[in-house]
Amino acid sequence: MLAVEPISPSWGPAVNQLRIGIGVVSNSSDIWVCFENVSETDIVINLGITLANGKTHFPTALALTVTDSEGKTNRFRYAPPAAGIAGRVDPFVVPLPARAVYQIRCPLKSFIQNDPSKWPGSMTPGRYRLAVGFVGKPVNKTETNSDMAGLSLMPYLSGEVSSGESLISIR
């Protein structure tokens, strides 16, 4: 059985039936991202892509906003896999039944800017505020395999949702 660290996520406001929260994993450079369906109806979210028939997931629909102690803000995207992937690429589809919560643990090093040298190696010691955003959209059939029956019929949540902020200290 997988042990999951209990967290107290910092929740953002709900948008289109969904709210997300962020929590920092203690003694780690990882964060928890929590998705909660706040409605009484089921929803489906597309978190990005999955490889090798579901063995590896990349929540590329996530973005991380980092604010330093001086108020400077940078936005990072979840890095997709390296170029030259061979094999099957499927959507990272997550069904969220009514009132359900889904959590994923993301290493901070997986978030990059267009210039990967700026993250995470350039973070100097200090306190930072972190927030995560999600952009919901249907599965893009040009980026993934489209042979899953009913893939385009799923009621994918669309829109942008943001978490509250969590604090992290870098030593």
- List, for residues 76-132, the tens digit of each pLDDT value: 888 877 665 666 778 888 999 999 999 999 988 888 876 655 655 466 778 889 999
- The pLDDT value recorded for residue 3 is 45
For residue 168, being part of any structural domain is answered with no
For residue 40, being part of any structural domain is answered with yes
**Any idea which residue has 């980092």 for tokens?**
66
Query: Looking at the predicted structure, is the pLDDT value of residue 150 above 80?
Result: no
- The pLDDT value recorded for residue 1 is 38
Query: Looking at the predicted structure, is the pLDDT value of residue 133 above 50?
Result: yes
- Number of H-type helices and E-type strands within the chain: 0, 13
| 3-state secondary structure at position 118 | helix
CA distances 21 to 73, 89, 103, 154, Å, are 19, 27, 9, 24
- The pLDDT value recorded for residue 121 is 47
Number of domains in the chain: 1
pTM of the predicted model as reported, rounded to 2 decimal places: 0.83
Q: Tell me the CB-side half-sphere exposure of residue 157, using CA atoms within 13 A.
A: 31
- The pLDDT value recorded for residue 15 is 93
For residue 5, being part of any structural domain is answered with no
| 3-state secondary structure at position 129 | strand
Q: What is the percent of the chain with per-residue pLDDT over 70, rounded to a whole number?
A: 77
For residue 134, being part of any structural domain is answered with yes
Higher pLDDT, 63 or 146: 63
For residue 171, being part of any structural domain is answered with no
Q: How far apart are CA 102 and CA 157, in angstroms?
A: 15
For residue 170, being part of any structural domain is answered with no
Name the phi and psi angles at 62, rounded to 5: -100, 145
For residue 135, being part of any structural domain is answered with yes
Range(s) of the domain holding residue 139: 10-162
CA distances 128 to 10, 55, 57, 70, 122, Å, are 14, 32, 27, 9, 13
